[in-house]
A and B are shown apart, each in its own frame.
Chain A
Amino acid sequence: MFRIIAMLVICLPGQAKAADSTPEDLLKISDRSRGGLASTVTWQVEIESSEKDTKSNRGFEITAKGIDALAKATSPSRNKGEVFLFNDRSLWFYKPGLRKPVGISSRQRLTGETSNGDIATTNYSRDYTPTALPDDKVGEEQCHVLDLKSKNPSTTYDRIQYWISKKTKLAIKAQFQTPEGKALKNAFFKYGNTIQFEGKKLPFVSEMEIQDALMAQNKSVLKYQAPKTTQAAASVFNVNSLMR
């Protein structure tokens, strides 16, 4: 009996580690540090875009919970009052003066290299089917590489190649691709923020740099600030409440 218990004690952590390493679990873990949490989280995001000789800045305040997210434009002043609401797989846009929110696509360009879907939470584990590819290195970091194929047409990208650090289990690079695997954009992630979740400190994304795959000088840098867990009423994510 003692031997059985001893074996269980020895084997269980190993089994847990093996489970973490499946493509699906790797995605679930990496999603948490990009906002894909079950509880309500808020953060600020500043987007700096540069394209040829033009530069632009946009700011949003994000409130997210599970599959819903609300992005309120905070800057520049002409965009204040604009709201993007992510309801499961639907995306709504509303600005003062509109009679009702308008349904839009997460694939449409928001600013610079940023698509509408890039500013909200990441739920790749729900939206994509992962397949493991041979391991690779990003800089000095050893990574698992996953080939993610979209499960439905409402996702922001059809296909993603995703590099997840073996050490931290955090995504550090993504290549957004066409269904045929042609590179559209490259994204790089940094995790300088932390967030309290279920009594633990989790690393949280602090920067996402999205570059055009062909012209790397065309890029958008999303800087995430002040992430924190909070409480929000369910009505916050109700599309009909946007007009009130």
Chain B
Amino acid sequence: MRDSTQRWSFALRNLIRHARRNLISGAAIAFGFTGLALMGAYLVRTDAYLAVVSVYLNQAGHVSIYKKDGLQKYLTYPGKYTLSPQDQLRLGHLLREFPEVEFTAGFLIGQGLLSTGCRDVPFLAKGIDDKKGLRIREHSLVKKWTPGLIAPPYDKSLGIYPNIGDGISITGQISQMMGKPKIWDDAPKAVSPVVTDCSDKAAKAKLAETADVQMVAKAFNGDFSAADAFIVAHHSTGLAFSEETSIFTNLSHLQKLFQTQDITYLAVFLKPDTSTSAFLDRFKQKLDAEVGGYDVYPFYNEKISPFYAGVMEFLTTMASFFFVLVLTTIIITIVSFLTVGFMERRREMGTLRSIGYTPRMIAGDFFRESTLLILLSTIGGTLICSLVVVIVNSLQIQFSPPGIANTMPFMLTLTPKLCFSVAALVGAIGLSSAWLKLRKLTGEPIVDLLRG
């Protein structure tokens, strides 16, 4: 034990003794580490942002359960491909056996027209129980990763108006298209008059004053149907393609409009840090064995979250390309610096060999030096990364990537897992190249080593 401690202490002394040379090698390792870690930090951030948007804000859940073929056909044959109350009971019973499930929520999806009396906008409405909706919005992961999407003007939700049974939340874009800027809290608590002449500007202005609208749709039984609604909140789906049509409303309100007791899908929300794929495998196995007749999708399936799947695939491909480039540069740099360092110390190796050190002992000492150098360099790299992350995040840079509604904050997220992974990679490259070089060098004849 003492011997081992002495050897590490000896390695540290040697490292300090060659401070200038090691500082250059260490800087190369630290900056290589920083490049890889920052690239990873951007990927981590984007993945978390889009995953939270998909799972929570667009309510796909970590896993969603549809009737067999329901995902493809729920809008065309809504009465046939939805989950009946019996289906919901059966699935609820089965899910109780999985402790990793945090909660479940049933969603009804239907399409129709939203009307002010003078302006109609097609909608794709999603109905959810008020309390569950509030629970989703207030989830710690939503607050952590997408605070901007629940901050003003999106800080109000259906769940905080339990007494308004026919409240709806619309996107800012729908609000603009319909000329209905006001929500329940800001508008007079009245219904706008019937406007028979929409070219009358005064009448149109009256429509803009109130928060009432009407929904028109074809019910699941084929009947023509309509329902009143009050706009109580504005929301953003976070995704450009759904901003023109997205409406959220109370589940019972939407069920009344579509004259059904069914839901379109059951979303399963897992406890944080649960592996979705591991849960999915186990659940599917049990579902197929015990009931059958359902389709189950994880949130990262392209049919459920095409934007998430598409963006992450693109980013991963792009990042992999840059990763290979950066990694190659890092390997060359680290190996060069370490090799030059060892070559410059050939005489020292020769002297040690001549006083009785075996090649293995010398290689071991130098290897310990390299280990300490890499360890200190990655710690330094972590500090540099942390500093860059703090600076970038504090700048609050907003940008508009294609497909994202409004803007998205350009932020980086450095996690311990990411740091350890990159450090392990950099360490593996540095140490393996050091070990290979040392074994070759220390095995050379003493005379050759002493010549330098």
Other contacts beyond A100-B194, A102-B117, A108-B218: 10, CB < 8 A: A93-B216, A95-B226, A98-B226, A100-B214, A102-B115, A103-B115, A108-B216, A109-B224, A111-B223, A112-B222
Residues of B within 8 A of A102 (CB): 115, 117, 214, 216, 226
CB pair B196–A239 under 8 Å, yes or no, is yes
Residues of A within 8 A of B218 (CB): 108-109
Q: Does A211 contact B (CB under 8 A)?
A: no
Q: How far is the CA of A219 from the CA of B115 in the complex (A)?
A: 29
Q: How far is the CA of A56 from the CA of B194 in the complex (A)?
A: 32
CB pair B227–A100 under 8 Å, yes or no, is no
Residues of A within 8 A of B228 (CB): 98-100
Q: Mark A101-139, 1 if CB is under 8 A from B, else 0.
A: 111110011111000100000000000000000000000
Q: How many B residues have CB within 8 A of the partner chain?
A: 19
Q: Does A79 contact B (CB under 8 A)?
A: yes
A98/B214 contact (C-beta < 8 A), A90-B196, A239-B196 known: yes
Residues of A within 8 A of B212 (CB): 99
Q: Does A77 contact B (CB under 8 A)?
A: no
A100/B222 contact (C-beta < 8 A), A87-B196, A90-B196, A108-B216 known: no
Residues of B within 8 A of A98 (CB): 214, 226-228
A100/B191 contact (C-beta < 8 A), A56-B222, A79-B223 known: yes
Measured CB to CB, the nearest residue on chain B to A52 is B77
Residues of A within 8 A of B222 (CB): 54, 56, 111-112
Residues of B within 8 A of A90 (CB): 196
Nearest CB on B from A49, distance (A): 8
Nearest CB on B from A102, distance (A): 4
Nearest CB on A from B125, distance (A): 16
Q: Does A235 contact B (CB under 8 A)?
A: no
Q: Does A231 contact B (CB under 8 A)?
A: no
Partner-B contacts on A (CB < 8 A): 54, 56, 78-79, 82, 87, 90, 92-93, 95, 98-105, 108-112, 116, 239-240
Q: Which one of B117, B194, B212, B214 has the highest number of Cβ atoms from chain A below 10 Å of its Cβ?
A: B194
29 A-B interface contacts by CB (under 8 A): A54-B222, A78-B223, A79-B223, A90-B196, A93-B224, A93-B226, A98-B227, A99-B191, A99-B228, A100-B191, A100-B193, A102-B214, A102-B216, A102-B226, A103-B117, A103-B118, A104-B216, A104-B224, A105-B120, A108-B216, A108-B218, A108-B224, A109-B218, A109-B224, A111-B222, A111-B224, A112-B222, A239-B194, A240-B194
Give 6 closest A-B pairs by Cβ, nearest first: A102-B214, A99-B228, A99-B191, A102-B226, A100-B194, A239-B194
Residues of B within 8 A of A100 (CB): 191, 193-194, 214, 228
Residues of B within 8 A of A101 (CB): 194
Residues of A within 8 A of B227 (CB): 98
Residues of B within 8 A of A54 (CB): 222
Residues of B within 8 A of A111 (CB): 222-224
Measured CB to CB, the nearest residue on chain A to B256 is A97
Residues of B within 8 A of A109 (CB): 218, 224
Interface residues of B in 180-215 (CB under 8 A from A): 191, 193-194, 196, 212, 214
Measured CB to CB, the nearest residue on chain B to A93 is B226
Q: Which one of B212, B226, B228 has the highest number of Cβ atoms from chain A below 10 Å of its Cβ?
A: B226
Residues of B within 8 A of A93 (CB): 216, 224, 226
Q: How far is the CA of A36 from the CA of B103 in the complex (A)?
A: 59
Q: How far is the CA of A108 from the CA of B117 in the complex (A)?
A: 16
Q: How far is the CA of A57 from the CA of B212 in the complex (A)?
A: 33
Residues of A within 8 A of B223 (CB): 78-79, 111
Nearest CB on A from B314, distance (A): 38
Nearest CB on B from A213, distance (A): 19
Nearest CB on B from A70, distance (A): 15
Q: How far is the CA of A109 from the CA of B216 in the complex (A)?
A: 12
Q: How far is the CA of A93 from the CA of B224 in the complex (A)?
A: 9
